[in-house]
């Protein structure tokens, strides 16, 4: 297992390196001019040229990239053009909010999705199964922006139980977490149902039942542990998805996460901030994958011994 994790870490280096190259090329060939965006629409040509030279945007692409990577290896993600702050500090200030939304959203997904999926599998073909699949269909069909606005209208305005937006105490997190988690809960319900049905049809489960083991023991010892592998994988991949995929939720609820910061950087062509958020997300994806392997090895010893 240790050698496997070491290989994963070594393989992660070219992945992050390749992402940095692709992002740098895309930014370089954007039709927008970062110097013009920084100077403002009323700035003179001379002012824009001076700013471009100060930012090093006149240098060849390879030289800009080499300079950036040299700073990156020292832990320096650059300096934001628009916000006039180090990119590392900007991302660090948003990470706690992002992690709070990530784990709250995943908690909502698991809290709703797993019980529905388990109950549907145990009642396959009956009305609880059909009701669970109706929930799954609605969950994946409802747009997050519509659900967020409806929750804000009913539970923030008409019945003011929760705040209308922003980030503060735990109450500010409830509606964004539900909005972000409903769609995932539907996927978890379908995945857990499918995985459990596959395991319930395996020979060793039928053998355990034939030996007279109690139903709850068969479920707890054999069925559930072997049904959780795809769920664990999906839960781990939810972390990077939440960072980049809940921008709409963050905007609706005015939530100051990393995804919203990345959108602001793209809108203002803030090159160092764009690169910083992309590389941060890429590193988080790699770490999530490694953590998934560790957890899967703990849950399923066959995976641990295979590596």
The CATH number assigned to the domain holding 176 equals: 1.10.3720.10
Q: Which two tokens stand for residue 201?
A: 């049809």
Question: Which residue would you say has higher pLDDT here, 29 or 144?
Answer: 144
Report the alpha-carbon distance of residue 70 to residue 76 in Å, rounded. Answer: 9
Task: Tell me which residue of 96, 77, 92, 90 sits closest to 275, measured CA to CA.
Answer: 77
Whether the predicted pLDDT of 243 surpasses 70: no
Highest-confidence range of 197-201, 294-298, 301-305, by mean pLDDT?
Answer: 197-201
Domain containing residue 136: 96-255
Asked if residue 158 is part of any domain, the answer here is yes
Q: What are phi and psi of 228, to 5 degrees?
A: -90, -15
Question: Which residue would you say has higher pLDDT here, 236 or 90?
Answer: 90
Whether the predicted pLDDT of 281 surpasses 90: no
Least trusted range by pLDDT, from 71-85, 163-177, 237-251: 237-251
Are the C-beta atoms of 179 and 249 separated by less than 8 Å? Answer: yes
Q: Which two tokens stand for residue 282?
A: 């890429």
- As a whole-number percent, the residues of the chain with pLDDT over 70 amount to 84
Asked if residue 260 is part of any domain, the answer here is no
Report the alpha-carbon distance of residue 301 to residue 307 in Å, rounded. Answer: 10
Asked if residue 8 is part of any domain, the answer here is no
Asked if residue 193 is part of any domain, the answer here is yes
Asked if residue 233 is part of any domain, the answer here is yes
Average pLDDT over the chain reads 80
Asked if residue 63 is part of any domain, the answer here is no
Asked if residue 149 is part of any domain, the answer here is yes
Number of domains in the chain: 1
Asked if residue 113 is part of any domain, the answer here is yes
């Amino acid at each position: 297992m240790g050698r496997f994790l070491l290989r994963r870490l070594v393989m992660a280096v070219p992945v992050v390196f390749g992402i940095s190259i692709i992002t740098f090329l895309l930014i370089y060939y954007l039709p927008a001019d970062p110097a013009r965006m920084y100077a403002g629409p009323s700035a003179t040509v001379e002012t824009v040229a001076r700013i471009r030279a100060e930012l090093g945007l006149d240098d060849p692409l390879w030289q800009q990239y080499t300079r950036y990577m040299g700073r990156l290896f020292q832990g320096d993600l650059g300096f934001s053009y628009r916000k006039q702050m180090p990119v590392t500090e900007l991302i660090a200030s948003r990470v706690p909010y992002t992690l709070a939304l990530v784990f709250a959203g995943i908690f909502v997904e698991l809290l709703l999705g797993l019980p529905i999926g388990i109950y549907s599998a145990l009642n396959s073909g009956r009305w609880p199964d059909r009701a669970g699949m109706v929930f799954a269909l609605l969950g994946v069909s409802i747009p997050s922006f519509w659900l967020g606005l409806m929750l804000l209208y009913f539970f923030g305005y008409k019945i003011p139980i929760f705040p209308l937006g922003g980030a503060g105490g735990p109450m500010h997190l409830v509606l964004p977490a539900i909005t972000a988690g409903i769609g995932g809960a539907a996927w978890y319900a379908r995945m857990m149902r499918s995985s459990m049905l596959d395991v319930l049809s395996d020979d060793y489960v039928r053998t355990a039942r034939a030996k007279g083991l109690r139903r709850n023991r068969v479920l707890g010892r054999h069925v559930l542990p072997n049904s959780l592998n795809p769920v664990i994988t999906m839960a781990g991949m939810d972390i990077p998805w939440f960072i980049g995929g809940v921008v709409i939720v963050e905007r609706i609820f005015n939530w100051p996460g990393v995804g919203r910061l990345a959108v602001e950087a793209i809108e203002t062509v803030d090159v160092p901030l764009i690169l910083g958020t992309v590389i941060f997300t890429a590193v988080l994806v790699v770490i999530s994958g490694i953590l998934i392997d560790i957890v899967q090895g703990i849950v399923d010893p066959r995976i641990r011994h295979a590596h």
